[in-house]
Amino acid sequence: MEEEKFPDDFRTYKERNWLQFTQRPFFHVYVMLAVSLLLSTIFVIVAVSKVFPCGPNAREWEYSKGKCYYFSLQKTSWMDAKVQCEEKHSRLAIVESMGEQNFLQTRTRHERYWIGLSDRDVEGHWTWLDGRDSDSGFTYWARGEPNNDDRGEDCAHLWGDGKWNDVYCTYPCYYICEKPVLGTSPEHQGRN
């Protein structure tokens, strides 16, 4: 019969021990310290994401309206630009609105910058790197472009005045990468 009593005795022993533990002089201090530490950590993460939306160690990225942009310092082909953006966990920029276009063209004045738009798969069918059809969204082609000139022009770039032109994809241009701000889910990238 003693054996049947054992579980209850054991439980009572555990409860007593726990009670004694919680009544130690510094128990509540420890709990408050742990909660403070947790809250401080959350506060720092939120503050960093507000002050450095593109990451505290990413000074080469520029923030504008929910996206982070990288403007290259070197010229290269469209394919290499695409790969270099992917290596930075980003993609060649997709221009979705006049507001975004305005921001980009103030940063790229007088130079050619690749964007994530091409008709490499089907001539004349311009698609963005996320698979979207260019004709169904915002476009900003220069007058008479895209013209697929005699060398075959399948990749798009911002021209001197910011308007878009198609040129052959091995032409050396600067390029613009984009990525979502910290803490948001990256979309599917580099589909093309």
Using CB under 5 A as the criterion, which residues of the chain lie in contact with Ca ion when the complex forms?
119, 145, 147-148, 153-154, 165-166
Q: How far apart are CA 101 and CA 138, in angstroms?
A: 9
Bond before 172 cis per omega within 30 degrees: no
- Judged by beta carbon, residue 100 or residue 153, the one nearer Ca ion is 153
How does 21-48 read in b/e, with b if 16+ C-beta sit within 10 Å? eeeeeeeeeeeeeeeeeeeeeeeeeeee
Whether the CB-CB separation of 21 and 13 falls below 8 Å is answered with no
Residue 148 beta carbon to Ca ion: minimum distance, rounded to whole angstroms: 4
- Judged by beta carbon, residue 100 or residue 166, the one nearer Ca ion is 166
Residue 90 beta carbon to Ca ion: minimum distance, rounded to whole angstroms: 25
- Judged by beta carbon, residue 100 or residue 119, the one nearer Ca ion is 119
- Judged by beta carbon, residue 49 or residue 139, the one nearer Ca ion is 139
Residue 87 beta carbon to Ca ion: minimum distance, rounded to whole angstroms: 26
Residue 119 beta carbon to Ca ion: minimum distance, rounded to whole angstroms: 4
Whether the CB-CB separation of 128 and 144 falls below 8 Å is answered with no
Which residue's Cβ has the minimum distance to Ca ion? 148
Can you name the residues that pair with 92 across neighbouring β-strands? 177
